[in-house]
A and B are shown apart, each in its own frame.
Chain A
Amino acid sequence: MHKQRTNAIVTLYHKLGSPPSFYRISGYFLKWLLLLSIGLLIWGLYEGLVLAPADYQQGDSFRIIYVHVPAAWMSMFVYGIMGLCGIIAIIWRMKVAEAVMMASAPIGAWFTVIALVTGSLWGKPMWGTWWEWDARMTSELILLFLYIGIMATYSAFSEDSRKAARMAALIAVVGIFNVVIIHFSVKWWSSIHQGTTVSLMGESHITWDMLRPLLIMAFATKFYYGYSMLKRARIYLLETESHKRWVQDTVNESNNGDKS
């Protein structure tokens, strides 16, 4: 007990684990996350669309990379977060983990959709077809199904949000194992059925001028995810704890602020 009190990490864990303090602490970050992501988004898109040189093979169409790749990265990153929170939610029954997990699902699904559609928009000029069943696109599509499954499970049990979240958590955890297996099996499959793997990036050499905007965009999407997830998790906590004292105090406070 005494040891716990001295350990800063454990204290932080317990603080973040309690809905009211999570709500309070996350409130400080929201504005900054949003501003940072908008700023980086503008900067990254400006560099990517205006400053970066055109690819010598793909021309200007390669600029789709600046939204496609960050979105694809995020779709997997967010799923990883969901799996992690799912494990915490199932084992330690931490409500905040449930909130973070369910708050990640919509934005993660959005990123997956963006990755899929922009991939298709990139594929048309490059491959001459809107859709190619290559390993990456196929796994991404199945990832979308997993996102949909998690959200569908949650809404199917909507009369008991606690149970719904834990059910969805289980799907997320099972899905984590499966994403890996699915990815490798699809890779194996496309290697025997297509002979050569088609790659969007091809052999082109990525210069620093081309890479920098990509990294900026990667950070921009990460910050936007942070904003969207925290905001949604806060709403989730307000909604599910609505009969508790701290929620009523919070709502009253914001009420006084809004009434101008």
Chain B
Amino acid sequence: MNEFFNMGGYAFYVWSSIGLFLGAMVIDFIGLSMKEKTVKRNIKSWMRRKLNK
């Protein structure tokens, strides 16, 4: 197992590459969910404004 994480001495390079790759995907994914929530919230608020008129 240790050998696997060591990556033949290239641990830093390999794992930071993989980490960056997965990190970017996760950031993209979380950003999307948050954006969706904000947009839907804004539309709902706009609809309420229209209802109250």
The answer to whether A and B touch directly, with their CB atoms under 8 angstroms apart, is yes
Residues of chain A touching chain B, judged by Cβ–Cβ distance below 8 Å, are 41, 45, 49-50, 54, 59-61, 63-64, 67-68, 71, 106-107, 110, 113-114, 117-118, 121-122, 124-125, 224, 228, 231-232, 234-235, 238-239, 242-243, 247-248, 251, 254-255
Chain A residues near B4 (CB, 8 Å)?
49-50
Q: For residue B8, which residue of chain A has the nearest CB?
A: A60
A110 B7 Cβ-Cβ under 8 A: no
Option from B7, B28, B43 in Cβ contact (under 8 Å) with A251: B43
In the complex, the 10 A-B pairs of residues with the closest C-beta atoms, listed nearest first: A60-B8, A61-B10, A67-B21, A60-B7, A118-B17, A59-B8, A64-B17, A121-B13, A110-B24, A242-B43
Residues of chain B touching chain A, judged by Cβ–Cβ distance below 8 Å, are 4, 7-10, 13-14, 16-18, 20-21, 24-25, 27-29, 31-32, 35-36, 39-40, 42-44, 46-47
Bound form: Cα–Cα A139–B5 in Å: 33
Bound form: Cα–Cα A107–B26 in Å: 11
Bound form: Cα–Cα A211–B12 in Å: 23
Bound form: Cα–Cα A199–B3 in Å: 28
CB proximity of B11 to chain A, nearest CB, Å = 8
Chain B residues near A64 (CB, 8 Å)?
13-14, 17
CB proximity of A221 to chain B, nearest CB, Å = 9
Chain B residues near A41 (CB, 8 Å)?
25
CB proximity of B13 to chain A, nearest CB, Å = 5
A63 B14 Cβ-Cβ under 8 A: yes
Q: For residue B42, which residue of chain A has the nearest CB?
A: A242
B32 A228 Cβ-Cβ under 8 A: yes
A67 B35 Cβ-Cβ under 8 A: no
Query: With A68-B17, A71-B21, A248-B47 as given contacts, are A63 and B32 in contact (CB-CB < 8 Å)?
Result: no
B10 A125 Cβ-Cβ under 8 A: yes
Grouping DSSP codes into helix (H, G, I), strand (E, B) and loop, the A interface class, with mixed when no group exceeds half, is helix
A238 B39 Cβ-Cβ under 8 A: yes
Query: With A117-B20, A122-B13 as given contacts, are A254 and B40 in contact (CB-CB < 8 Å)?
Result: yes
Q: For residue B18, which residue of chain A has the nearest CB?
A: A67
Chain B residues near A50 (CB, 8 Å)?
4
B20 A114 Cβ-Cβ under 8 A: yes
Q: For residue B10, which residue of chain A has the nearest CB?
A: A61
B8 A242 Cβ-Cβ under 8 A: no
A59 B21 Cβ-Cβ under 8 A: no
CB proximity of A233 to chain B, nearest CB, Å = 11
B17 A121 Cβ-Cβ under 8 A: yes
Given contacts A107-B28, A122-B13, A238-B43, 7 further A-B contacts (CB under 8 A): A49-B4, A60-B10, A67-B17, A113-B24, A228-B29, A231-B32, A235-B32
Chain B residues near A122 (CB, 8 Å)?
13, 17
Q: For residue B41, which residue of chain A has the nearest CB?
A: A251
